[in-house]
């Protein structure tokens, strides 16, 4: 009986390892099942550093970048004058967003003491951050 339980446990562990391996490398069969799971898992967890009152910006982090840099992102946000939360940045008064090479999405706001005009935000995104601009 103990031998049967050990055998079943070993098979279950091996199946879980195979499932994790196929999810991270995509599905070789072409039905994209593993890639779909990976994409939805990345979108489920998001963190943001809201610095709108001091800088007129808020940064969103997700996926591997959030996982690999979570301690740094959560601890440095307050030092930069922001508030870190596990949620998206506020969507009110956004003039546009900038997607950086790291996957960070920086939103620019048009209200408050550090308000951005769309042209300035666009220029800063592409010039200073070398990001991809998306105006609203």
Q: Which segments in the chain show pLDDT lower than 50? A: 1-43
Which pLDDT score is estimated for 11?
33
Q: Domain-by-domain residue ranges, the chain?
A: 2-43, 46-135
Decide: pTM greater than 0.75.
no
Question: What was the pLDDT predicted at 7?
Answer: 33
Sign of CA dihedral 11, 14, 16, 18: negative
CB under 8 Å to 135, separation ≥6 — which residues? 95, 96, 118, 122
Distance CA 46, CA 87 (A): 6
- Count other Cβ atoms within 10 Å, centred on residue 68: 12
Give residue 136's pLDDT: 85
pLDDT of residue 44: 64
């Amino acid at each position: 009986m103990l031998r049967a339980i050990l055998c079943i446990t070993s098979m279950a562990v091996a199946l879980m390892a195979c499932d994790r391996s196929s999810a991270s490398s995509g599905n070789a069969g072409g039905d994209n099942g593993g890639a779909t799971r990976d994409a939805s898992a990345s979108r489920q967890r998001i963190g943001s550093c809201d610095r709108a009152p001091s800088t007129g910006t808020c940064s969103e982090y997700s996926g591997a970048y959030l996982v690999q840099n979570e301690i740094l992102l959560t601890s440095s946000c307050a030092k930069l004058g922001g508030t870190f939360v596990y949620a998206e940045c506020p969507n009110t008064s956004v003039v546009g967003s900038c997607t950086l090479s790291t996957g960070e999405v920086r939103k620019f706001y048009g209200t408050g003491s550090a308000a951005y005009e769309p042209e300035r935000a666009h220029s800063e995104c592409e010039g200073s951050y070398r990001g991809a601009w998306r105006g609203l």
